[in-house]
Amino acid sequence: MGSFSKKQEDLVNSSWEAFKQNIPHLSIVFYSSILEKVPIAKDMFSFLKDCDGIPLNNPTLEAHAEKIFEMIRDSAIQLGAKGEVEVADDITLEYLGYVHIQKGVTDYHFLVGNVMHIYLIRG
């Protein structure tokens, strides 16, 4: 992996701080944007499967979005400091890969998620 510049790391950190200020709203924006681009992705999220649209005030949805944004922030910090990312002990890359394969996640899904993350950063 390449490393992040200080400017890129600062951008991710500032987006994390902004995200933490309004997790419920930005979680809904994040998932709504993903489902607008890839409606079939709804079935990949257990907390969205049986819902019409994106549920408001859903702790599972908010926790999942928070975890994604936190992992992005932590990865950016590690890339800036060490030029590589080490995954936390309780979550292995193999496990994350397995879950994503089981859900049918493709490169396109990650691309859409990354674009939505950038959208939220830049507002």
List the chain domain ranges.
6-122
- Per-residue pLDDT tens, the chain, 123 aa: give them: 456 677 877 887 787 788 888 888 888 888 888 888 888 888 888 888 888 888 888 898 888 888 888 887 787 778 777 878 787 666 677 787 788 788 887 777 666 666 565 555 555
Superfamily of domain 6-122: Globins (1.10.490.10)
Long-range CB contacts (within 8 A, 24+) of 100-104 = 103/44, 104/44
Contacts of 108 (CB under 8 A, 6+ apart): 38
CB 100 within 8 A of CB 108: no
| Single pTM value for the model | 0.68
